[in-house]
């Protein structure tokens, strides 16, 4: 699947790739979950969205780390206090957990704006 999307992206660009993903996975996704595709990671997207609106940046406190040192799973919370939005992210690194938490917050913001 990833290879196919990569070929579509390289041959026809980002807009066509997005259209394909939306078409192929529409039955499993709600329309508000289809965030605009961007080359920026979710944490950067969230930071830019907040800064454009003069809001303070979120913290990503670590709430848990599970597993052996070489194979841990991390859990973080991302909170946007002014919007009363909070989301948890889980990942194989703290960075991945933060990215997932930011992605979840962006989805909630999209739902909030709808």
Question: 33, 107 in Cβ contact below 8 A?
Answer: yes
Helix axes 42-52, 94-113, angle to 10 degrees: 50
Residues of the chain with pLDDT under 50: 31-34
Cβ atoms within 10 Å, residue 30: 11
User: How much is the pTM?
Assistant: 0.66
pLDDT score at 113: 64
Distance separating alpha carbons of residues 87 and 61, to the nearest angstrom? 11
Quick check: 76 and 89 in contact, CB under 8 A?
yes
Integer-rounded Cα Rg, in Å, for the chain is 16
**pLDDT score for 31:** 47
Are 57 and 76 spatial neighbours (Cβ–Cβ below 8 Å)?
no
Cα–Cα distance between 92 and 114 in angstroms, integer?
32
């Amino acid at each position: 699947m990833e290879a196919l999307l990569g070929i579509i992206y390289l041959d026809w660009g980002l807009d066509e790739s997005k259209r394909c993903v939306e078409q192929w996975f529409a039955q499993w996704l709600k329309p508000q979950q289809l965030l605009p595709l961007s080359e920026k990671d979710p944490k950067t997207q969230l930071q830019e969205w907040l800064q454009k609106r003069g809001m303070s940046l979120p913290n990503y406190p670590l709430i848990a780390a599970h597993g052996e040192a070489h194979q841990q799973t991390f859990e973080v919370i991302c909170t946007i206090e002014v919007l009363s939005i909070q989301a948890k992210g889980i990942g194989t690194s703290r960075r991945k957990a933060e990215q997932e938490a930011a992605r979840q917050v962006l989805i909630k913001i999209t739902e909030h704006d709808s």
